[in-house]
Structure 1
Amino acid sequence: MSTATFVRPEPLQGSARMWGTVALSAATFMNVLDTSIANVSLPAIAGDLGVSPNQGTWVITSFAVANAIAVPLTGWLSQRFGQVRLFVTSVLLFVLASWACGLAPSMPTLIALRALQGFVAGPMIPLSQALLLSSYPPALAGTAMAMWAMTTLVAPVMGPLLGGWITDNMSWPWIFYINVPVGLLAAFGAWRIYASRESQIRKLPIDAMGLALLVVWIASLQMMLDLGKEYDWFHSDLIVGLGVVFVIAFAVFLVWELTADHPVVDLRLFARRNFWGGTLATSVAYGLFFGNVVLLPLWLQQYMGYTATDAGLVTAPVGLMAIILSPIVGKTVHKVDPRRYVTFAFLTFGLVLWLRSRFSTQADMFTILVPTVIQGIAMAFFFIPLTTITLSGIAPDRIPAASGLTNFARITAGAMGTSIVTTVWENRAALHHAQLVEYVQRGSEATQQALQVYRSAGMNAEQALAQLNRVVDQQAFMLAANDVFYASAALFMLLIPLVWLTRPQRGGAGGAEAAAGAH
């Protein structure tokens, strides 16, 4: 999204434009990579720092929540300090935070540093778009955004592969250290090329109260979701307290933002049917998608015996079909009703999750890989058309605020989806474990046969029982994962009518510049 009103500089020419595109793309790649590279490394990080893998999901959610908070501030910060200065500063701070993450001695420290990393990363993606668009003539804006979008699609493919390989062959801190050389080169290149093209600077008031309330309600909600399973939910005074803080802060936030002269979040945009329908569909769908993206490698590594590298190989192809199909979708989205594309995307997501809901503990790598490849098709038809719907009919001067708000909602939903999915998975596993144990009685013939097999393999009675319990655990978490996949498929189906409540306008806002903002 464009983030400041200024006289458009002349497009870059020749090698300057090429190297400018490379520098901006490298920074974007590094940022998006960090949303997925830690997924397959969670068990290793959690084991090394002495917490459970599900507690390790804080490494992902803290980054996402802080990133979501920073996105609405990008417009004010860029007008206050300049787009180029803010972008380069954001990249350099991201490098510093990444280096510190690799040195983190404990999980609380790592979570705090990941939150810092997410916060300073907030301006990078919207500003990389704005600077890239200023580098190309208007006639090539679509080409520029297609190249930018390809970067954001390649990164999720590389993230699990790179994260898995680094975790297995080096050590998990290196998933953060690799940002250092990439970030330094991106910052140096961007400053050399864009420093002379700085945007106008204006002193604008900031909605400090709105920002404070935003931080309080998001932080309390996310902490409630992340800590709930450890503290037995609302049987705990801590969780009740966090719930009360969230409700009060959110209610005051809504009233304040609707009456403020310079709100940090323009809630009046929700008066538009296309905007609220598109934003809600985007947020729920992304929450479901991201929650399942985190769940799959956790299940594979904890209960299917996969290494981090193998889990990365299975989850990486999610972007392959998206890379192939996204340019086609971008070129045709204004010729076809975007609601048809989104409907196709949600039906495909539903198919993928339904296929996963039929997995068993005997599933081979090919069986697990097929739905992941198909999911890339859904991704291609999901982001660009939904952003086109969401921003349809909005005046150009309100596009930055609208794009920032829908991105804020999407990123927040991704963090919430991660917490909710892992919590439901654990709860369903406990239920299935209790049900399965009822069939494992010492007197039953099947139990005796299983114990006899283990004893004949050289185990004593205690070891045989422990092995039997591991098998029950594996089955319980497999059945629980199936439940989550099936419920997610059903929710994608329920989102389809919501999409058809919108009335996208042909040729309205949400073109090449806006569409890329969904990523």
Structure 2
Amino acid sequence: MNANPTTTATEAATVPQAREPGPMRLASVPAPVAEPAGATVPQAGLSGRIALGLIGMLFASLLAILNEQVTAAAMADIQGAFLVGHDDGTWLTALFEAANVATMVFAPWFGTTFTLKRFTIGAVIATMFFGLLCPFAPNLPALYSLRILQGIAGGCLPPMLIIVALRYLPPDLKLYGLAGYALTATFGPALGAPLAALWTEFVDWRMAFWQIIPLGALCCVAIQQGLPADPVKLERFRAFNWFGFLTGFPAVAMLVTGILQGDRLDWLGSEFIRVMFGAGGLLMVAFLVNEWYQPVPFFKLQLLARRNFTHGLSTLVGTVILLVGVAAIPGQFLAKIHLYRPLQTAPLSLLLAGPLLITLPLTAALLNRRRVDHRWVIAIGITLMLTTCALGTFMTSAWIRDNFYMLQVLQIVAQPLTIMSILMGVTTGLPPAEGPFASAMFNTVKTFSAAVASGLIEAVGTAREHFHSSVLVDQFGNRALIANQGVDAAYGLGQIAHRIHEQAVVLTSADLYRVMACVAVVLLFLVPVLPVRIYPPWSTTPPSSH
């Protein structure tokens, strides 16, 4: 692949080009890769059989998300069942996430090689199999190994959905297919805590691993019956990008591990974290340089020449941070202040999850209209997220679950507007042959950003809670009259310590909302700068009046 490819006539006919002012117009756009021989060409309409296969792919992606979110939410019960302490238990999540994110870089290449149908079914079966074995792990190292293998298998699934949607959906239905993918970023994570509460409180902690088995069996049947059987392309291994694989996989895995373990190990104060970031960063640089010059890369970096694609990826980073933060802050606050268990915080997630099944397709219908500018839609969505964060800064120790309902209601509208606009900007104009490249980059950035968000929340939360605790203790110590009261009563000192901790948590939670608000402001500033006007996939040319 050339480093500076030029636009072809084929792409010009398929991409709804934006009319930019002279200095803002791109001089070159990456040329599409020819469709592999034997690949199925999308039909003008959507047959019932293909629809069944798409539903199977959607459920397979949701399966992967639910497996990740539910096991994370139920980790306290899992650690208790295995008699694992907190420090050892954090590795169960870190190793899974590292393997999961690293796999997404390469899954589209293997999916194209072994065919989407066979590869996805194999990944679903592997995810179910390792999930079935996890509760029977004889020791902690065996459980670590099973979690790594399940992370690899689960990481293969979400990227397949975008590829299938771009390849098989007709233009007028493409945005609705992307709305299905958006469920994996919004609806799926929102179900994690409620399902974890259901299994651990009323059934059995093992169901956190086993819940995916019935859904996985249905996925395999739907995909087997619905998707066409393309020929396997093993000849692609002759040009396999070994250098990219051997540098990219450990690079991503090391960076994710460093991020997720950083707060516990004191970040750069730990030699282990320094090695993870240093070696991982060097390998990542080598990987990206190699990908730029590779004829068959895993990451097609030339796609970044498209301003909407670049805007989509950069906005995706901030949006995922917002989604993770807005979801995590209320749960952490309620657990620390009012000792809420997952069952008691589940209504917050369910309030968001249910309506998303309606607002996501409605947003797709809105964006499917020519007169709607996706830039305004994403700006409105980010503004609503900013409003949510601003309202959260007014929290007090008296806030209970009911006080967060209004914030969740805003997210019901904000999340679909933002995510769907990003997906539209990233995928509009991409030929099906470039779907694997876009999917690899989009899914890797999405899951890596989730890890960054978790690390950011932990780092900021720890630092600000220590700061506020120190300030409150100093203020209390300087008030001699108050300090002398209750000194003789252990109960009084305990109450004072509790109040200091409580106020530190409240102030820290408000600070986290302020950090999220700053991220939203940055995303708003990007909207008038990077993206250009695009039109729905069914519209190949802009209106003559534009």
TM interval, shorter chain, is: 0.7 to 0.9
Aligned to 1:175: 208
Q: CA deviation at 1:317?
A: 2.1
Residues 291, 420 of structure 1: 8 Å contact kept = no
Aligned to 1:92: 125
Q: Equivalent of 1:371, from 407, 412, 417?
A: 407
Aligned to 1:458: none
Residues 303, 474 of structure 1: 8 Å contact kept = yes
Residues 42, 167 of structure 2: 8 Å contact kept = yes
- Aligned residue type for 1:385: S
2:535 is the alignment partner of 1:507: yes
Residues 8 and 169 (structure 1 numbering): CA distance in 2 closer, same or farther, change over 3 Å? same
2:398 is the alignment partner of 1:381: no
Residues 89 and 181 (structure 1 numbering): CA distance in 2 closer, same or farther, change over 3 Å? same
Looking at structure 2, the residues matched to 271 and 130 of structure 1 have their Cα atoms a distance apart, in angstroms, of 20
Aligned to 1:326: 360
Aligned to 1:496: 524
Q: Which runs of 5+ in 2 are unaligned?
A: 1-32, 540-546
Looking at structure 1, the residues matched to 459 and 144 of structure 2 have their Cα atoms a distance apart, in angstroms, of 19
Aligned to 2:294: 260
Residues 244 and 27 (structure 1 numbering): CA distance in 2 closer, same or farther, change over 3 Å? closer
Looking at structure 2, the residues matched to 348 and 134 of structure 1 have their Cα atoms a distance apart, in angstroms, of 33
Deviations 1:136-178 (A, max 9, x none): 7666555555556557654334322111222222343321111
Aligned to 2:4: none
Q: CA deviation at 1:100?
A: 3.1
Residues 61, 416 of structure 1: 8 Å contact kept = no
2:478 is the alignment partner of 1:413: no
**How well do the aligned residues superpose, as a CA RMSD in angstroms?**
3.4
Aligned to 1:404: 440
Q: Equivalent of 2:278, from 228, 244, 249?
A: 244
SS of corresponding position for 2:260: helix
Residues 423 and 292 (structure 1 numbering): CA distance in 2 closer, same or farther, change over 3 Å? farther
Q: CA deviation at 1:93?
A: 0.5
Looking at structure 2, the residues matched to 358 and 106 of structure 1 have their Cα atoms a distance apart, in angstroms, of 46
- Aligned residue type for 1:201: K
Looking at structure 1, the residues matched to 459 and 166 of structure 2 have their Cα atoms a distance apart, in angstroms, of 41
Looking at structure 1, the residues matched to 487 and 373 of structure 2 have their Cα atoms a distance apart, in angstroms, of 60
Deviations 1:309-340 (A, max 9, x none): 01222233233443322222212224311111
**TM-score, scaled to structure 1:** 0.84
Q: Which runs of 5+ in 1 are unaligned?
A: 456-460, 512-519
- Aligned residue type for 1:216: P
Q: CA deviation at 1:403?
A: 3.2
2:237 is the alignment partner of 1:201: no
Residues 75 and 158 (structure 1 numbering): CA distance in 2 closer, same or farther, change over 3 Å? closer
- Aligned residue type for 2:105: P
Q: CA deviation at 1:306?
A: 0.4
2:337 is the alignment partner of 1:309: no
2:324 is the alignment partner of 1:290: yes
Query: Any residues of structure 2 matched to 1:402-441 within 5 Å, and which?
Result: 402-441=438-477
Residues 163, 436 of structure 2: 8 Å contact kept = no
Q: CA deviation at 1:131?
A: 5.2
Farther-moved stretch of structure 1 (170-179 vs 127-136): 127-136
Deviations 1:69-111 (A, max 9, x none): 2223233212322221111101000101222333457776555
Residues 321, 376 of structure 1: 8 Å contact kept = yes
**TM-score, scaled to structure 2:** 0.81
Residues 136 and 248 (structure 1 numbering): CA distance in 2 closer, same or farther, change over 3 Å? closer
Residues 226, 419 of structure 1: 8 Å contact kept = yes
Residues 4, 75 of structure 1: 8 Å contact kept = no
Residues 39, 297 of structure 1: 8 Å contact kept = no
Aligned to 1:280: 314
Q: CA deviation at 1:418?
A: 0.7
Looking at structure 1, the residues matched to 373 and 46 of structure 2 have their Cα atoms a distance apart, in angstroms, of 35
Deviations 1:460-508 (A, max 9, x none): x2x5534532332232122112111111112211111212222434337
Aligned to 1:353: 389
Residues 451, 464 of structure 1: 8 Å contact kept = yes
SS of corresponding position for 1:31: helix
Looking at structure 1, the residues matched to 299 and 336 of structure 2 have their Cα atoms a distance apart, in angstroms, of 40
Residues 263 and 41 (structure 1 numbering): CA distance in 2 closer, same or farther, change over 3 Å? same
2:517 is the alignment partner of 1:483: no
Deviations 1:228-255 (A, max 9, x none): 3333332333232223212321222222
Q: Equivalent of 1:191, from 224, 237, 254?
A: 224
Farther-moved stretch of structure 1 (368-377 vs 198-207): 198-207
Residues 77, 86 of structure 1: 8 Å contact kept = yes
Q: CA deviation at 1:18?
A: 6.9
SS of corresponding position for 2:296: coil
Residues 223 and 383 (structure 1 numbering): CA distance in 2 closer, same or farther, change over 3 Å? same
Q: CA deviation at 1:435?
A: 1.4
Aligned to 2:8: none
Aligned to 1:82: 115
Give the share of equivalent positions with the same residue, in percent: 21
Aligned to 2:196: 163
Deviations 1:13-65 (A, max 9, x none): 66x5675455444323322223432454344445555444x985655554444
Larger RCO (alpha carbons 8 Å, 6+ apart): 2
Looking at structure 2, the residues matched to 134 and 175 of structure 1 have their Cα atoms a distance apart, in angstroms, of 33
Q: CA deviation at 1:446?
A: 4.1
Residues 353, 486 of structure 1: 8 Å contact kept = yes
Residues 56, 218 of structure 2: 8 Å contact kept = yes
SS of corresponding position for 2:299: coil
2:263 is the alignment partner of 1:229: yes
- Aligned residue type for 1:304: H
SS of corresponding position for 2:441: helix
Q: CA deviation at 1:426?
A: 1.2
Looking at structure 2, the residues matched to 448 and 44 of structure 1 have their Cα atoms a distance apart, in angstroms, of 42
Aligned to 2:372: 336
SS of corresponding position for 2:475: coil
Farther-moved stretch of structure 1 (434-443 vs 323-332): 434-443
Residues 38, 175 of structure 1: 8 Å contact kept = yes
Residues 436, 472 of structure 1: 8 Å contact kept = yes
Residues 175, 424 of structure 2: 8 Å contact kept = no
Q: CA deviation at 1:442?
A: 10
- Aligned residue type for 2:111: S
Aligned to 1:390: 426
Residues 26 and 445 (structure 1 numbering): CA distance in 2 closer, same or farther, change over 3 Å? same
Farther-moved stretch of structure 1 (413-422 vs 285-294): 285-294
Aligned to 2:24: none
Aligned to 2:28: none
Q: CA deviation at 1:277?
A: 2.2
Aligned to 2:153: 120
Farther-moved stretch of structure 1 (107-116 vs 485-494): 107-116
Farther-moved stretch of structure 1 (315-324 vs 100-109): 100-109
Residues 157, 318 of structure 1: 8 Å contact kept = yes
Q: Equivalent of 2:500, from 465, 472, 481?
A: 472
Residues 451 and 173 (structure 1 numbering): CA distance in 2 closer, same or farther, change over 3 Å? farther
